[in-house]
Structure 1
C-alpha cells in the first residue's frame, strides 16, 4: 500500500501504479464528496449519504484508473516510453470522465486538457524539472520576533536623572 507511481518504470507494475494513483484520487474524491454532502446535496439518512459519497468519488477513481491503464497499454503496445503514452493516457482519462458525465463534449475537452497536462508532466520527468515543486516547510523568521503583549524590557535602562 506504500507504493509510489514512479517506483517502477512505465509499462511495469500496473497494480502498484493503480494503487498509487487511486490513493490520491480516492482522497480527493472523499474530500469533494464531504463538501458536497455537507454543503450542496444534504442527503437525509445514512444510506443516501453513502450513495452520494460513491456517486461523487467514483469519477475521481475512474479518471485515475483509466489514465494508468491507458498509459500502461500505450507503453506496452508502442514499446516506447515517451510523452505520447502520457497523452494517450490523458485522452483515456478524459474519455472516462465524459462517459461518467454522459457528454461527448466533456470527454473530448477534458481528454485534450488531461493529455496536455500529462505530456508536460512526462516532459518534466524526462528533463528533470518539477511540474509541482515541493512546498518548503519553515518558520519564515517568525521565531526571532517577540509577539507578546508585555515584552520583557531591556535591563540596561537608567532613571533619566544622570
Structure 2
C-alpha cells in the first residue's frame, strides 16, 4: 500500500487506496500550510490552540482530496465512462468542500468551477500523455531514491591507502 500510486489501477477501481494516496498528499500540504500559519500568522498560545490550527487546515484539505477521489471514481462507476466529466465532478465536489470550509457561497462556487477546470486539465494530461509541469520529476531526487548520492564529495579510489584489518 505504501508504493501504490493513483494511476496504478484504472478509474473506478481501488477507490479506498486512491483516497489514501490523495489524502496523504493533502495532509502534507495541510501540514506545511498550518506550520506557516502557526509560525508566521496566527501565533496560537498553548498546545490545544496550536493543534486546533493544524486541524483547521489539514482536515478540510484532506476532505477536499477525499471528495475529489470518491466523486470522480464513483462517477466513473455510475456513468460507465472514463472521461473528463468525472474529473470535473470531482473538482466541483472538492470546491464545494472548500466553500463549506470558508462558509461562503460566493467563494465556493467559483472555486468549484476552477477546481473542475483544473481537474479536466489533469485528465487531459493523463489521456494525451503530457505533463502539467514539464521537466519536473519529484521521484528522481527524493529521500527514497537509491540512486541519489547524498555525499558532499565523491570518494577517490586512489586516495584510499589503508588496508583492511591493519593499522
Q: TM-score range by the shorter chain?
A: 0.7 to 0.9
* 1:92-147 per-position Cα deviation (integer Å, ceiling 9, x unaligned): 10011111111112111111111111001101111111122342679xxxxxxxxx
Aligned to 1:108: 109
Aligned to 2:55: 54
Taking a change above 3 Å as real, the CA distance of residues 115 and 104 of structure 1, as seen in their structure-2 partners, is: same
Q: State the shift of 1:2 in Å.
A: 2.7
Aligned to 1:34: 35
Report runs of 4+ in structure 1 exceeding 3 Å deviation.
none
Aligned to 1:94: 95
Q: TM-score, normalised by structure 2?
A: 0.78
Aligned to 2:121: 120
For residues 112 and 132 of structure 1, what CA distance do their matches in structure 2 show? 22
Number of aligned residue pairs: 138
Ranges in structure 2 where 5+ consecutive residues have no aligned partner:
142-167
Q: Residue 7 in 1 paired to residue 8 in 2?
A: yes
Aligned to 1:72: 73
Aligned to 1:144: none
Q: Kindly indicate whether the alpha-carbon contact (under 8 Å) linking 1:3 and 1:19 is maintained by their aligned counterparts in 2.
A: no
Ranges in structure 1 where 5+ consecutive residues have no aligned partner:
139-162
Which of these two proteins has the greater Rg computed from alpha carbons?
Answer: 1
Q: Kindly indicate whether the alpha-carbon contact (under 8 Å) linking 1:70 and 1:88 is maintained by their aligned counterparts in 2.
A: yes
